A = this chain, B = another copy of it.
Amino acid sequence: MLVAQTDPNTQTGPNSARRADARMNAAAIVDAATRLLARDPDASLADIAREAGVGRVTLYGHFDSRATLIAAVVDAAMARAETELSDVDLDGDSVEVMRRLLGASWRLTHRHGALVQAAEKSLGSEDLHEAHLEPIARMRTLLERGRGAGRFRDDMPLTWQITTIQDILHGASRAVYRGEHTPDAAGELIETTVLAVLSPPTVE
């Protein structure tokens, strides 16, 4: 968790004092922010408030600052990410697992897009990096296993393979926003492309 929320949203105990519309609005703001920041990490709070169908002041009523809001967005994103990624079955053939993991990662990437960059500007990037590290660690573990089993090529650095996979995911996200492919088509292409990158060379 990145934030010690001052927002009444997450106050423990009897939240009977919390009105329904307020909770709705807070959620709508986080939602709108996620959508806008996924496309443009520089989206202004005014834009986000408008997208959420809410006055700018209301936004500040829920979140102290841009940083606070972004932290909340990141928290929500990480929570959903953890849920969806932990659903992926990590047992079995490395290639098959990679397919599944890529599918889940693609959905997350497409949903969150450039949010990482927005977070990097507003937050110290240390906490964030730690947080964002968890999904990467999952991928790293899988890669190591697949390399050991001869299912993935191991003649290039692990970090390079991870970087490349991330780049392909984010590139696909932008391509979809540009309208070049549907999300589903992009998912297929990602799978094919990444597996081509990871396949051991036929002749060495």
**Given A192-B156, A193-B156, are A171 and B163 also a contact pair (CB < 8 Å)?**
yes
Closest B residue to A160 by beta carbon equals: B189
> Is the C-beta of A25 less than 8 angstroms from some C-beta in chain B?
no
Known pairs A157-B180, A197-B197; list 4 more (Cβ under 8 Å).
A156-B192, A159-B180, A163-B175, A164-B168
Closest CB in chain B relative to A110 CB, distance in Å = 15
Main secondary structure of the interface of A (DSSP, over half): helix
Contact of A157 among B160, B170, B181 (CB under 8 A): B181
- Chain B residues whose CB sits within 8 angstroms of the CB of A157 once the complex forms: 180-181, 189
The 7 closest A-B pairs by CB, nearest first: A167-B171, A167-B167, A163-B175, A160-B189, A196-B197, A159-B180, A163-B171
- 8 Å CB interface, A150-204 against B: 155-157, 159-160, 163-164, 166-168, 170-172, 174-175, 180-181, 189, 192-193, 196-197, 199, 201-202
